[in-house]
Amino acid sequence: MPKVLVSDPIDQAGLDILSQVATVDVKTKLPLEELVSIIPEYDALMIRSGTKVTQAVIEAGKNLKIIGRAGVGVDNVDVPAATRRGIVVVNSPEGNTIAAAEHALAMMLSMSRYIPAANKSMKAGDWNRKAFTGVEVYKKTLGVVGLGKIGSHVATVARAMGMNLLAFDPFISSDRAEELGCRLVEMDLLLSESDYITLHIPKTPETANLINADSLSKMKPTARIVNCARGGIIDEEALAKALTDGVIAGAALDVYSQEPLGESPLRAVDKSLVLTPHLGASTAEAQVNVAVDVAEQIRDVLLELPARSAVNIPGLRPDVLEKLRPYLQLAETLGNFVGQLAGGRIEELNIRLQGELAENDTKPIVIAALKGLLSNALQERVNYVNASIEAKERGIRVVETRDTTAEDYTGSLYLSAKGSLGQHSVTGVLLGGTEVRIIDMDDFPINVPPTKYMLFTLHRDMPGIIGKIGSLLGSFNVNIASMQVGRKIVRGDAVMVLSIDDPLPAGILEEIKKEPGIRDAYTVAL
């Protein structure tokens, strides 16, 4: 039975799901050395923000198939190292959306009315209304940096509160921004015109210290900023100085460049700064949501099913995955098929997508074809995560072409593999949206469903040859499930496709090749 290590606290609902398919060990607050020492015995690792999954952990995890982060950010996981090892990394991009958005809104309102400072004053026995005169958000301008799910929800609620909305997001269309009531602008304009700024972007090399001394100087002296996204987007020393010097009026932070927050100039700032200890996802509902979401994905991967929110499988978002699932099966099957036909070291893979296949997001289909191509050689070591890397490291040249026109079928996939032993091609389609059919092999027309064991012959189209092969197989107690012949011209070359119940006994393939009229013979096991 697979084993799962849960190294950060998660809701019991998640543990219950994992327990359906695996032995679950909950060991929290592990030192790095201990985590490295025990991770080899586990098939999956489930974490939150506390555990740092370094390259050392990943290299030690010889059996790891998946790392699940119960939350949005995966900056505590060395994703490139996991990808290279073929380990799926998943998160819960929607599980804490509402919680994070509501916290950002709560921070904006609380710093506007000095609620934390007023609460502290009241509990100290004071009654000082004048010291806590705040400002209203109504009719103020809110600048939303990042219009993803969380930023979009903040924008929707802020609009309902009567705020005017600006947005900066280079990856979103103007139409989508307008749907949310936002006007897309450049970052400098957002900084200078906003009364409030809320950040909803990941931390990347491009966004690190995005809010610094220079950008703070461009803001209104009455402006206030909220960061409930990721630590490190704001230069904390510059922010503390800007608040102390009155460059801006206020800030509210839930995330920090180093967590837990240690010695920091932020702690000395007066009532203009509100600090919370990374509470964005800390609601009872969000904890259940992210635990269930990630636990289900870990369960699925352990059952050899795709993960719906893998961060290191390009293009396989839940909606995309569901649409492409039959095509991925088609591509993987054909890749495996043509890889066995070509044999030896594969040098080049040509992929042609035709009809409706060419209209889809093709990158996952290419990845699936590569996985199939390499699966015979690499077995379980190749998957959707590392297939592209494995192909590149083996010097396999991938050529992709698209043709949106359709002939006999609404969509088809053609693969041609060139290897050290020759070149072969195969074309496949989906019948009824789900059934894989091979309709061409090496330019010979056929129409067969792929089966577990298959025998192919290239032979002269001549009387009696099919009967001879059937008799030879019968003499070795090989049962034929189905048979089909494809040819281009009468009495020319032809191919014969046999589905057989069991693998060919040793030596029979060479006997088949000795038969008069047989030019070549191949076996494929899918």
Contact by Cβ (8 Å): 332, 54: no
Rounded CA separation 161/137 (Å): 8
Helical packing angle, 149-160 and 97-112, nearest 10°: 50
Is position 136 annotated as part of the catalytic site?
A: no
Q: Which of 48, 230, 299, 424 is catalytic?
A: 230
Is position 259 annotated as part of the catalytic site?
A: yes
Task: Classify burial at 464, counting beta carbons within 10 Å of its beta carbon; exposed 0-12, middle 13-18, buried 19 or more.
Answer: exposed
Contact by Cβ (8 Å): 458, 495: yes
Number of CB atoms found within 10 A of residue 218's CB = 15
End-to-end CA distance of the chain: 25
φ/ψ bin of 246: left (φ > 0), alpha (ψ from -120 to 50), beta (otherwise):
left
Q: Which of 113, 176, 183, 278 is catalytic?
A: 278
Q: Which of 259, 322, 359, 435 is catalytic?
A: 259
90 CB-side CA count, 13 A? 31
Contact by Cβ (8 Å): 430, 436: yes
**Which amino acid, 488?**
K
Helix boundaries (H) for 345-446: 363-378, 387-393
β-strands 182-184, 164-168 pairing: parallel
Torsion of CA 35, 37, 40, 44, to 10 degrees: -10
372, two tokens: 């199939």
**Which residue has tokens 């009654």?**
127
Rounded CA separation 55/39 (Å): 12
Rounded CA separation 55/36 (Å): 10
Rounded CA separation 114/10 (Å): 33
474 CB-side CA count, 13 A? 6
β-strands 453-460, 66-69 pairing: unpaired
Rounded CA separation 166/184 (Å): 6
Helix (H) or strand (E) segment spanning residue 275: strand 273-275
Rounded CA separation 315/321 (Å): 8
Contact by Cβ (8 Å): 461, 492: yes
Q: Would you say the C-alpha torsion 45, 322, 417, 460 has a positive or negative sign?
A: positive
Contact by Cβ (8 Å): 283, 276: no
Q: 411 to each of 330, 338, 352, how far by Cα in Å?
A: 11, 19, 11
Task: Classify burial at 263, counting beta carbons within 10 Å of its beta carbon; exposed 0-12, middle 13-18, buried 19 or more.
Answer: exposed
Is position 278 annotated as part of the catalytic site?
A: yes
Contact by Cβ (8 Å): 317, 309: yes
Catalytic residue list:
230, 259, 278
